[in-house]
Amino acid sequence: MCRRGGAGGRVGRSHRLDEAAQGAFKYTLGPYDDPVLEVAPGDRISVETLDAFGGRIRSEADRPSDILEMPFGNPQNGPIRVEGARKGDVLAVYVERIVPRGDQPRGTTCLIHELGGLVGTDLTAMLNDPLPERVRKVNVDADWVYWSDRLRLPYEPFIGTIGLSPQIDSISSLVPASHGGNMDLPETRPGNVIYLPVRAEGAYLFLGDVHATQGDGELSGNAIEHA
């Protein structure tokens, strides 16, 4: 929503940004990539995301530290250019719905070496030995996250990383700041509006890192991640 060309409550055109149209996913939020899509205020966008691991963790036998290459986490769709958006505006993004996709088990959560507060890092020293790396794959549908035969959790999805381009910087998709970014807030869920400050012409919206469910934070460094 912009001072000039604002939606004014009107619903505009519908757009689809699938994996093919996205091409290379982004690992920084900044003004230097060409937009993959241009929209007008009030337009609706359907986006196909990847999970936080880029779909590279495929089984519980996988060892994340052998597969993942940090800081290449939280692949982002975008940038999406918003017509008429300029520095000083505020972009209002309404999250309409989130639908899980991909083959089952489509949910992934991990204990990863040097990530999170359970495994021990130079910032989180522990008296006990750090917990070993471990992967858990779970089925996820539109209603539930199936942790085991005896335990299921409500499907409460939200967008873990969503933000706009800074004015001149490119910021890692792992980092939260005033531009938005990797906030991991359950409040970025369907039915809510996220207000983001526009710092660059065209706003340049990025999003990805969708979660199936999470509490108020990521103690292990990730949630139950899905595409």
Task: List, in order, residues 6 or more apart from 10 with CB less than 8 Å away.
Answer: 42
What is the rounded CA–CA span in Å between residue 159 and residue 186?
8
CA angle 180, 183, 185 (to 5 degrees): 125
Residue 124 has pLDDT above 90, yes or no: no
Tens digit of each residue's pLDDT (9 = 90 or more) over 55-114:
999 999 999 999 999 899 999 999 999 999 999 999 999 999 999 999 999 999 999 877
Give the mean model confidence (pLDDT) for residues 33-55: 98
Query: Of 119-128, 161-170, 210-219, which one has max mean pLDDT?
Result: 161-170
From the list 88, 89, 92, 80, the residue with the least C-alpha distance to 31 is 80
* Domains defined along the chain, listed by start: 14-197+214-225 (2.60.120.580)
pTM above 0.85, yes or no: yes
Tens digit of each residue's pLDDT (9 = 90 or more) over 125-150:
667 777 889 999 999 999 999 999 99
What is the rounded CA–CA span in Å between residue 175 and residue 153?
28
For residue 11, which phi and psi values (nearest 5 degrees)? -95, 125
Helix (H) or strand (E) holding 69: none
For residue 24, give both structure tokens: 């290379």
Tens digit of each residue's pLDDT (9 = 90 or more) over 146-198:
999 999 999 999 999 999 999 999 999 999 999 999 999 999 999 999 999 99
DSSP 8-state symbol, 20: H
pLDDT at 115: 78
